Chain A
Amino acid sequence: KNEVEQSPQNLTAQEGEFITINCSYSVGISALHWLQQHPGGGIVSLFMLSSGKKKHGRLIATINIQEKHSSLHITASHPRDSAVYICAVSFTTGGSEKLVFGKGTKLTVNP
């Protein structure tokens, strides 16, 4: 069974701070996803990665396959970054794809 653990559960930061959210998983995966969910429910896919590092604007995602660990970094954080950030992993079993989600990290960025 693949477990996805995120830390921290809650994070409060001041505007401009560098933020790191961590994700660990327990079995081999085909890809790892970082998602952003705002109050009201809408989910936006930020990154899908299977190795290395990806960058989009102020967001950076890294993954270490050997250590089964990924991090999401936000540089120069802003109050509009306040949201729940969810890590999810996808893996295939018997040709079928399954996704397992972490419980999310609630980020609050204060002005």
Chain B
Amino acid sequence: ETGVTQSPTHLIKTRGQQVTLRCSSQSGHNTVSWYQQALGQGPQFIFQYYREEENGRGNFPPRFSGLQFPNYSSELNVNALELDDSALYLCASSFARLAGGYRETQYFGPGTRLLVL
């Protein structure tokens, strides 16, 4: 059973550019959540994907978008990067059966550290 992996580990971009971050969920999981953690702060919920559809979104602008693929891996895309987008981006996967209100613990990846200059 493999854990949650993220790529790349580090990334440097300039303002206005676009970035794609990737997350491979743990085997057997169907839900992926993305979080942004600024330095010295707790993580902020960006959005969650469940079985390829967005299932909940935090207070992030539309330039933050995502995808979940049939194998339940996921991408986070950020357009028109701003300096404040510099942060650690974490993804977490879990298993859920939303119809029955059943959710298991989330397992976190190591994160992608993004620096916007």
- 10 closest Cβ pairs, A-B complex: A96-B56, A101-B42, A43-B108, A41-B111, A48-B105, A103-B42, A99-B45, A101-B43, A97-B56, A45-B105
Q: Is the CB of B41 within 8 A of A103?
A: yes
> CB < 8 Å: which of B56, B107, B110 contacts A41?
B110
- Asked if A59 CB lies within 8 Å of chain B CBs, one says no
- Per-position 1/0 for B88-117, Cβ under 8 A of A: 101010000010010111111011010000
Count contacts on B: residues with CB < 8 A to the other chain. 27
Cα–Cα, bound, A44→B111 (Å): 12
B48 to A, closest residue via Cβ? A97
A102 to B, closest residue via Cβ? B42
Count contacts on A: residues with CB < 8 A to the other chain. 24
Q: Least Cβ distance of A70 to chain B in Å?
A: 15
**A residues less than 8 Å from B107 (CB atoms):** 45
**A residues less than 8 Å from B113 (CB atoms):** 41
- Per-position 1/0 for A78-90, Cβ under 8 A of B: 0000000010101
**A residues less than 8 Å from B37 (CB atoms):** 41
Cα–Cα, bound, A101→B108 (Å): 14
Q: Is the CB of B42 within 8 A of A104?
A: yes
- Asked if B33 CB lies within 8 Å of chain A CBs, one says yes
A-B contact list, 26 entries, CB within 8 Å: A4-B42, A30-B101, A30-B103, A35-B108, A41-B111, A41-B113, A43-B108, A45-B106, A45-B107, A45-B108, A48-B104, A48-B105, A48-B106, A86-B42, A90-B103, A95-B55, A96-B56, A97-B103, A98-B45, A98-B58, A99-B33, A99-B35, A99-B45, A101-B35, A101-B45, A103-B41
